[in-house]
């Protein structure tokens, strides 16, 4: 049986983790790092990373990259931006890192995804397209220790 103070602390930590997750969702295109996110909720970077992983299944930086890749997928489906433009529009500062992470999460390179999306039926509502194209970490990415 947990004590009331421990339970209250756990609830406060969950609320802080939700604030971090919400900030990542809002500011994914901004330069965010775990230290800045942790400072924003008065936690150490290590504690934030451990607790975030327990609560959401991946550490904050991996969650941020997933949000960026989701947004990149939407921009690439539009087809009016280059891969480099999309990379910088979603907040990535390195085309190489962006392309590597995109390929890990989506299973194909950003340019291959853009070409594939151009050939796909365009009559899917955006809410359906977002759901069926949501990036899911593949086993290779998980076992390589990234994220």
Give me the pLDDT at residue 8, please. Answer: 84
User: What's the pTM value of the predicted model, to 2 decimals?
Assistant: 0.76
Q: What does the pLDDT look like over 101-137, one tens digit per residue?
A: 999 999 999 999 999 888 876 666 667 666 656 665 5
- Residue 136 exposure: Cα atoms within 13 Å on the Cβ side: 5
The pair of structure tokens assigned to 87 is 């990379």
CATH assignment at residue 17: 1.10.10.60
Report the distance separating Cα 113 and Cα 78, nearest Å.
11
Q: How many structural domains does the chain have? A: 1
Q: What does the pLDDT look like over 32-71, one tens digit per residue?
A: 999 999 999 999 999 999 999 999 999 999 999 999 999 9
Give me the pLDDT at residue 109, please. Answer: 96
17 and 52 in contact (C-beta within 8 Å)?
Answer: yes
Give me the pLDDT at residue 2, please. Answer: 53
Give me the pLDDT at residue 120, please. Answer: 72
134 and 67 in contact (C-beta within 8 Å)?
Answer: no
Domain extent for 91: 4-143
């Amino acid at each position: 049986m947990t004590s009331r103070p421990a339970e209250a602390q756990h609830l406060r930590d969950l609320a802080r983790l939700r604030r971090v997750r919400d900030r990542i969702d809002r500011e994914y295109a901004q330069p965010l790092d775990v230290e800045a996110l942790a400072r924003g909720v008065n936690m150490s970077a290590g504690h934030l990373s451990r607790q975030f992983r327990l609560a959401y299944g991946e550490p904050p930086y991996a969650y941020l990259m997933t949000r960026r890749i989701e947004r990149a997928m939407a921009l690439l489906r539009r087809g009016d931006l280059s891969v480099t433009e999309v990379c910088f529009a979603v907040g990535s500062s390195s085309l190489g890192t962006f392309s590597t992470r995109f390929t890990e999460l989506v299973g194909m390179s950003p340019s291959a995804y853009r070409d594939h999306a151009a050939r796909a039926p365009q009559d899917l509502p955006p809410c359906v397209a977002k759901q069926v194209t949501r990036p899911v970490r593949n086993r290779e990415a998980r076992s390589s220790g990234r994220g």
